[in-house]
Structure 1
Amino acid sequence: MKKQKIIIAILFLSIAINLTSCAPAGYSSNEYGFFSGILHGFIFVFALIGKLFSLDVGLYAEHNTGFFYWLGFIIGIGGLGGGASSRR
């Protein structure tokens, strides 16, 4: 049983590291759009944890398309936590 918990913890940690590697960092030359906003919304919690440990991780893309990026970002955040609470 203890071995299974260790495997689950290692798996969770590797997933968290992989998700935060997609987080925006710094200024890039390409604009991020709607679908990038959804992805950044999904990984927001992991990026926030990385930011708390003072890693060079951005919470959102600075060079984005504006309204549609933010719309995707909010949908991504809502899909992460808001969808589970409605199943009650």
Structure 2
Amino acid sequence: MTKTSRIVTACMIALLVSACASQIDEGVMREGGSPGFLWGLWHGFVFPFAWIGSLFDPDIAVYAVPNNGGWYDFGFFIGVTVLGGGSWFSSKKRSK
């Protein structure tokens, strides 16, 4: 497989999987005080530790519900991506 076909295949799989994602209306609050972008960013950063904790304690959650919707989701995504992808990008060797 060429590099281009791998990228296209990965994008198609991601699109297929993300098409199934939805959030119930009861999980979104438009009121002040509900977790927003910054809380989503923080929860994304601490996701690995919260996930490990959630395996042992049912009171620990990795995702805040209810939240304010899209901005919380975006912050959570950025937090997880920076933590997970940052080390991968820095480990790539530079070609001379």
Taking structure 1 as the reference length, what is the TM-score of the superposition?
Answer: 0.63
Out of 31, 34, 43, the position equivalent to 2:46 is: 43
Q: Shift of the alpha carbon at 1:47?
A: 0.6
Q: Which runs of 5+ in 1 are unaligned?
A: 1-28
Q: Does 1:64 align with 2:67?
A: yes
Q: 2:77 aligns with which of 65, 71, 74?
A: 74
TM-superposed CA distance for 1:37, in Å, is: 0.2
Give the match for residue 33 of structure 1: 36
The structure that has the greater radius of gyration is 2
Cα distance in structure 2, aligned partners of 1:61 and 1:30:
12
User: Which residue of 1 is the match for residue 55 of structure 2?
Assistant: 52
Percent of counterpart pairs with the same letter? Answer: 45
**Cα distance between partner residues in 1 of 2:36 and 2:72:** 5
Instruction: Please report the RMSD computed on the Cα atoms of aligned residues, expressed in angstroms.
Output: 1.4
- Deviation of residue 55 (structure 1)? 3.9
- Counterpart CA distance in 1 for 2:40 and 2:58 is 21
TM-score if structure 2 supplies the norm length? 0.58
